[in-house]
Amino acid sequence: MTSTAVKITEPPENMELVDGKLIEKTGMTLRHGQIQLRLGSYWRNYCLNSNNGGEVYTEAACRTNKQNRRPDVAYLTPELLAQFASATILPQSFPLIAEIVSPDDSGEALFTKAQEYLESGCQEVWLVFPESLWLIILTSEKHLLLTLGEVATTQTVLPGFSISVSELFDRNIPNNNE
């Protein structure tokens, strides 16, 4: 049996090209999909209502300095959208990315992926932990750890966007001031 190497320019749907191998994105739960849609919708609505422009994607392919990835949620600025509107794969990381952690994701791999995004043009990464109800926001200068009852705000991309972590996770937390 003969094997031939095939150069893949864009990984198939639900897959990433990692270290030269196609890796299926598995472990996505209903909760994962719910938070992915919720965050993507909030980012998109903010873009439309604030006149920031740009576009929000789910599972869109991009190239980092090392791999071909498919972030769970990603925002593309109007400038990059104009430049790469017809591309089948973004040739760099999206400026703003969210990864929703699946039960089978390892912490080490997740933080390595976030660092890879930041080294490849991404300015801000949101790591969303649906089971433990944590949100970690990473930039090259700052790392924030947030949980229920706190407010998440974009640090460098989509200025002015904020969301209650409780709202992101669809958890009603009583207001202590009531």
| CATH number of the domain bearing residue 163 | 3.90.1570.10
What local confidence, expressed as pLDDT, does residue 118 receive?
97
Q: Per the structure, how many domains does the chain have?
A: 1
Residues 97, 57: Cα–Cα separation, whole Å: 10
Give me the pLDDT at residue 113, please: 94
Enter the pTM of the model: 0.82
For the chain, the helix, strand and coil percentages under 3-state DSSP, each to the nearest 5: 25, 25, 50
Q: How many CB atoms lie within 10 A of CB 87?
A: 14
Question: Buried (b) or exposed (e) across 6-16, using 16+ Cβ within 10 A?
Answer: eeeeebeeebb
Q: What is the pLDDT of residue 11?
A: 55
For residue 163, being part of any structural domain is answered with yes
What is the predicted pLDDT for the residue at 28?
Answer: 66
Assess contact for 55 and 70: CB atoms under 8 A. no
Q: How far apart are CA 82 and CA 103, in angstroms?
A: 36
Enclosing domain of residue 124: 23-168
**93 belongs to a structural domain:** yes
**Spans in the chain with pLDDT lower than 70:** 1-28, 172-178
Give the pLDDT score at 31.
87
